[in-house]
Amino acid sequence: MNDASPPAFFRQSHAPDDRQRWAVKIEYDGTGLVGWQRQKAGLSVQQLLEEAAARLAGGRDVPSITAGRTDARVHATGQVAHLDFPISMPLNPRAVRDGLSYHLKDHPVVILAAAPVAPTWSARFSAIRRRYRYRLLNRPSRPGIEANRVWHVRHPLDVPAMQSATQILLGQHDFSTFRAVACQAKSPIRTLDRLDITRDGDLILFDVEARSFLHHQVRNLVGTLQLIGCRRWDSEHLRTALEARDRCAGGPTAPSEGLYLVGVDYDPDPFG
């Protein structure tokens, strides 16, 4: 994902006068998708959502903006976007939710909630917090049920070692070490508000929260913490890597299929 400053063509943030803006909460299985953003290479969530909205709007274009531009194969249980429908349409929350879901029925994408919002409200710029969960399956056997839903790591990971290393990462830092080379954000400074690691049977869950993230930041953090979990790195190595402010000093990028955008927070909550 990349929550950084948008390119110029995304900057229009007010709904035009002839439009009504709706916020939608979306769940999707990213396995067969190329990610949020439209691409020629395959189906994106954006394309599916906008095509469903256009069908609901009788063929008129309905542009969308999202809170988190998830990468290919990344999942979401609480993605948020806004859609600008023609002002003439009679809409209500249930009709938007069920109407969009109906037109998405051939795809693993579903609308969980819909709510009308002010023309100045933005799924992207009004967000005060993004919440991600990374799911790692830590056992010798590959996943039988959760293929494409977890990162499978065979060797046993030291969870307490990873937990204590998170202290180095929490708070405000220059996260250049954990930022994709292609990241478009102007600043590499971010504030990590939460990085909890818990074991649940064979699963290791990473719960990560911040106002916004750099491109690949969560996956780069998890990939690096995994080096600590298998004792190839210690905490001092992590501190040195963070202070290097250089992607080359960081660990590998954890695979996209373990990552879930679980929620985006707004104040007030439009779905509240």
In the complex, the residues that contact its own copies under the rule CB under 8 A are 26-29, 75, 77, 97-98, 101, 105, 108-112, 139-145, 147, 149
231 burial via Cβ count (<10 Å: 0-12, 13-18, 19+): exposed
Kindly give, in sequence order, each residue whose CB lies less than 8 Å from that of residue 62, ignoring residues fewer than 6 positions away: 50, 53, 54, 56, 83, 84, 85, 86
DSSP secondary structure of 230-252: TTSS-HHHHHHHHHHT-GGGS-P
Q: Between 178 and 260, whose beta carbon lies closer to its own copies?
A: 260
4 vs 111, which CB is nearer to its own copies? Answer: 111
- Residue in 261, 225, 267, 260 with CA at minimum distance from that of residue 242: 225
| Nearest distance from C-beta of residue 24 to its own copies, angstroms | 11
Cα pseudo-dihedral 196, 212, 223, 142, rounded to 10 = 70
Nearer to its own copies, 40 or 105 (CB): 105
Preceding peptide of 268 cis, ω within 30°: yes
Establish whether 71 is a catalytic residue.
Answer: yes
Please indicate if the annotation marks 28 as binding a ligand: no
Lookup: tokens for 115: 């709510």
CB of 135 to its own copies, least distance (A): 11
Rounded to 10°, the helix 45-56/93-103 angle is 120
Q: Which position among 61, 71, 200, 265 bears the catalytic label?
A: 71
Minimum separation from the CB atom of position 140 to its own copies (A): 7
Shortest separation between residue 113's beta carbon and its own copies, angstroms: 8
- Choose between 94 and 232: whose C-beta lies nearer to its own copies: 94
What is the rounded CA–CA span in Å between residue 23 and residue 1?
A: 20
Feature table: binding site for substrate:
132
Feature table: binding site:
132
Residues identified as active-site: 71
